Structure formats: structure tokens, C-alpha cells
Amino acid sequence: MGSIVKQLPDRFFGDIEGHTEQTRHFHPAIPEALRKRRAKTATTLMRDHIMSGTNDLVAVLDEHGLWAEDAKSSA
């Protein structure tokens, strides 16, 4: 997944519906938790942020048929 993300344009996630709002929640909350030395909170926020982005990415790639050929060739 990391190799796919590195190839995406910077604006990619901003174009996914709802992702910008999620980012506006997570981005300030993560450093705030770190400043308050709330490691578990920061860890949870970071994990949720990454998983949210990953789920959004997989959904978009699925919509574009990224795995369509794999499904045909393995059938």
C-alpha cells in the first residue's frame, strides 16, 4: 500500500469526499495529544487517521477497477 501512496499526487486525498473533514479533525488533534503527553490518545488518533485514509484509498482504487484484472485472471 505504501508504494501506491507514494505515487499519488499530493491533492489525491483532498479529492476524496469527506476526507478533508477527517483530516481537519485528526491533524490538530494528534500534536495536541502529544503536547499533553497522552501517548495512547495520540497513537489511537494516528492509527485511526491512517486507517481512514487507507480505507478511502482502497475504495477509490476499487471504484477504478484496480483489482478487476486480478479477479478475471484468477477465476
* pLDDT (0 to 100) of residue 60: 81
Query: How far is 25 from 73, CA to CA, in rounded Å?
Result: 41
Give the residue ranges of the chain where pLDDT is below 70. Answer: 1-2, 4-5, 7-12, 14-15, 18-19, 69-75
Angstrom distances, CA of residue 61 to CA of 1, 12, 41, 43: 11, 11, 30, 27
* pLDDT (0 to 100) of residue 10: 66
Nearest Cα residue to 25 out of 53, 58, 4, 60 = 53
Q: Output DSSP code: residue 12.
A: T
